[in-house]
Amino acid sequence: MYHQFYGFEGRPFELTSDPQFYFESASHTKALSYLGFGLDQREGVIVITGDDGCGKSTLAYRLLDRFAANELAVAEVGALSLSAENAVTLVTQAFGVESLRDDTGGDWGLLETFLQNESREGRRCLLIVDGCEDLTRAGFVRLCQLSELRLGTQTLLQCVLLGRAGFLDGLPPESEAQRLQQKVVASYELEALDADETRSFVYERLRRVGWDGHPAMEDEMLHSLVAHARGSMRRINQMMNRLLLVGAIEESEALTAEMLNAVIKEMKMDTQVHEDGTGAVPILDAGPEDPRAKQRVAGAELETALAALQEVGKPVRPANNGPIAHHTYDELAAAIANVERRLEEQEQSLRHVLTMLIEWLEEEDTHEAA
């Protein structure tokens, strides 16, 4: 809804990969050169690694833009799908081939026939596998088998593997992962955006949806964004998407550091932080929770604080009918401060509920449009 308030032609910070918003950092430019060479080999495995949210999927599809639609047949699967018992069926279906479902041997024949026919028609077949750090031994075995399919001397299937850095390293020499590593014809590890690239990323995405300087981007806000996003495109998208939504709710003409800090605080409400054995402190999804419950709790706490303030404001009559005592200034000030604190928490909670409700409605609109 913020795109309507600010007059944008679309939402610039969607969390799903969109080649339309491809941003070419210095690292992405080098990666395209290396990986383009790999695609030209027409065989083997291409590996793209990097931290979560660095743009691996977007880069992979940018590579494919080098080809006309009738030159390629592309399928994408998750690493966990390759590790499943019905992996061949899932790959077959990903290529748009109607599978036999419960007949793995039959689906293998269907997949091989499809790849052979595509090769005879002059089309190349690519399998993109995302999340390869989650590959099991069964998944590596399946990848080896797929990469070895041939028609005469011609390789039928080229694989593009996306995952965190080092997912092929440190494995036993005789393992399937090492066999697969020997087939790698090109690889590149994407780097995080630097400070200047982070700012350019934000401005370029905004301009692509018709941003004309409204809302204004406060320099201090961008500085804070650089520090908290740490060069991750996904984190930038998450923060900016939420920040623009808050800006629209508050009808703000500028996005400020104060607003961003409030957004980051709200986002932490949706996550839980714990230490792992290495001493690092990762932020993990806390799972679904009902924001309305938080709002109800905050409301109840506010009511309790108001009741306490009312009690403080009343004179105290001793049980022995002695002189009436009045609460001290410090007691009144403490009670008022408690109410103010609860009011602030209530406001944050209400804004959090409203933000999540709008995001949920926008996600529903996106699913219906798809």
Q: What is the pLDDT of residues 48-73, one digit of tens each?
A: 999 988 889 888 888 888 888 788 89
Instruction: Enter the tokens of residue 177.
Output: 């992962």
Q: What is the pLDDT of residue 320?
A: 45
Identify which of 71, 70, 58 has the alpha carbon closest to the alpha carbon of residue 17: 58
The pLDDT confidence band at residue 307, using thresholds 50, 70 and 90, is: low
Tens-digit pLDDT profile for residues 262-285: 999 888 876 643 333 333 333 333
Identify which of 230, 293, 228 has the alpha carbon closest to the alpha carbon of residue 263: 228
Identify which of 291, 343, 285, 45 has the alpha carbon closest to the alpha carbon of residue 185: 45
Strand partners, 155: 150
The pLDDT confidence band at residue 209, using thresholds 50, 70 and 90, is: very high
Please check whether residue 139 is in contact with residue 172, taking contact to mean a CB–CB distance below 8 angstroms: no
Q: What is the pLDDT of residue 111?
A: 92
Average pLDDT over residues 147-158: 90
Range in 103-117, 118-132, 204-218 with the lowest mean pLDDT:
103-117
| pTM > 0.85: yes or no | no
